[in-house]
Amino acid sequence: MASISSGAGAAALRRDFLGSALESSRPKNVIPLHRSIIRASKSSPKLPNRRLRVAVIGGGPAGGAAAETLAKGCIETVLIERKLDNCKPCGGAIPLCMVGEFGLPLDIIDRRVTKMKMISPSNVAVDIGRTLKPNEYIGMVRREVLDAYLRDRATASGAEVINGLFLQLDTPQRPNEQYKIHYTHYDGSTLGGQKKTMEVDAVIGADGANSRVAKSIGAGDYEYAIAFQERVKIPDDKMEYYQERAEMYVGDDVSPDFYGWVFPKCDHVAVGTGTVTHKSQIKQFQAATRLRAKDKIEGGKIIRVEAHPIPEHPRPRRVLDRVALVGDAAGYVTKCSGEGIYFAAKSGRMCAEAIVEGSENGARLIDESDLRKYLAKFDKMYWPTYKVLDILQKVFYRSNPAREAFVEMCADEYVQKMTFDSYLYKTVVPGSPLEDLKLAINTIGSLVRANALKREMAKLTL
């Protein structure tokens, strides 16, 4: 995965993107004095005798991070999660920066992946990870462990965690009134739970790809991929191979627009694949993935089969009045790699920070402009990352020749260094211009060669 844009390019991207964005934003409740500046809502009423009350719907990484930041900011926080021991279907990979930024204890991480193998459609295998320093790794976590840890931290900071299912949201009739949340409380006493309501000032929707909060604010739909995964328990000697290694298989047989993977988990491997455009053939793609990894997972037993939608791009509307979406509910999953855990947690934290700031630690009511500040900050910080990964997906996941070129490029050390630096630390690093030029020439060369071979292949055996 090459880092195509240099620092100047990334800055230009940000300028172009946000220049138009800021000019066209006109939040509903605040009358801006200048058309291009979002005013802080000092005109919002001070809350009498109570603190701001915010409900976080969904207790995954996004919800947990948001709830913790809100609670630390002296805001009355309630987190509603429908399944506290949810074992989510997920790759489970977190970048190094997440461990530092969120202060994750190292025992949460089951495995440290330091080697990755990329395998092309014609089985050319390239090892990447030579450039990693000894303290750098991709952390593999179990989602139930990570999610529970973040929720517990939120509770420790003062948030209230409720085991319940969010049903619907009643928007207030008059401005500055509270939202009414309908939910089913699973308190163990009644079978099927008890229907309850709650009044809150703001809502953070962190309830994932099938978000109900998103539906209730009419956020619109996104295109999504189906990720299908089988957890396979393989014999110990085969597990040795995957001790610190993850594999990525590319090819039309494995997926027409994504990749197949074998990721090591605590004591088994997860073999899976995904697709956006050919969802009905996902089982065939999974069989093809298993075939490609056959030698290495032979003798394994499938202990679990799971599937989940993965958003491809953000929803058309991510914020409405005092309701904001974060994480998968907002659609913050990168292209090319399909990474979402870090962005979910980061967006949850950013949204919560914006609420804390806009409400002056819970003293004032917030409004949409505060939530839009979170959007602006998130978009500005991560737009280059998303755009670069989108370009990579468009260029290298197009067709088999493009994938062959992709794997060929991954053998280059400069590419590996740039890829890992930008993945592990989530910044698009500007490399040296000369190396970038060499990389561009090599990329074009690889693509041209692979496409020439494809033309030869088309002439054979029609």
Partner 1 sequence: MASLFSSPLPSTLLPTLSTKPHLSLKHPATFLLSPLIRRQYSLFLARSSDANGAGVAAAVEDKVEEKVEKESGEGLGSNGAAAAAAAVVIEEPPKFKDPRWVGGTWDLKQFEKDGKTEWDAVIDAEARRRKWLEDNPEASSENEPIIFDTSIIPWWAWMKRYHLPEAELLNGRAAMIGFFMAYFVDSLTGAGLVDQMGNFFCKTLLFIAVVGVLVIRKNEDIETVKKLIEETTFYDKQWQATWKDDTPSGER
Q: Applying CB under 8 A, which residues contact partner 1?
A: 17, 20-22, 24-26, 119, 121-125, 218-223, 241, 249, 251-254, 283-284, 287-288, 291-296, 313-319, 335, 375, 379, 383, 386-387, 390, 394, 400, 404, 408, 411, 442, 445-446, 448-450, 452-457, 460-462
* 357 vs 379, beta carbon nearer partner 1: 379
Strand partners, 304: 231
Shortest approach of partner 1 to residue 90 CB, angstroms? 23
Shortest approach of partner 1 to residue 13 CB, angstroms? 9
* 116 vs 161, beta carbon nearer partner 1: 116
| Angstrom distance (rounded) from CA 149 to CA 153 | 6
* 127 vs 187, beta carbon nearer partner 1: 127
Shortest approach of partner 1 to residue 122 CB, angstroms? 5
The dihedral formed by the CA atoms of 208, 210, 211 and 215, expressed in degrees to the nearest 10: 160
* 54 vs 254, beta carbon nearer partner 1: 254
117: left (phi over 0), alpha (psi -120 to 50) or beta: beta
Closest to 363 in 3D by CA, of 55, 74, 154, 77:
74
Shortest approach of partner 1 to residue 456 CB, angstroms? 4
CB atoms within 10 A of CB 303: 11
Shortest approach of partner 1 to residue 222 CB, angstroms? 7
Contacts of 174 (CB under 8 A, 6+ apart): none
| Angstrom distance (rounded) from CA 100 to CA 44 | 36
* 260 vs 362, beta carbon nearer partner 1: 260
* 77 vs 334, beta carbon nearer partner 1: 334
Shortest approach of partner 1 to residue 205 CB, angstroms? 13
| Angstrom distance (rounded) from CA 63 to CA 335 | 22
CB atoms within 10 A of CB 87: 14
| Angstrom distance (rounded) from CA 351 to CA 359 | 12
* 140 vs 405, beta carbon nearer partner 1: 405
| Angstrom distance (rounded) from CA 11 to CA 25 | 21
CB distance 153 to 66 below 8 Å:
no
| Angstrom distance (rounded) from CA 452 to CA 462 | 17
| Angstrom distance (rounded) from CA 52 to CA 349 | 17
* 383 vs 414, beta carbon nearer partner 1: 383
Shortest approach of partner 1 to residue 220 CB, angstroms? 3
CB distance 18 to 376 below 8 Å:
yes
Shortest approach of partner 1 to residue 30 CB, angstroms? 13
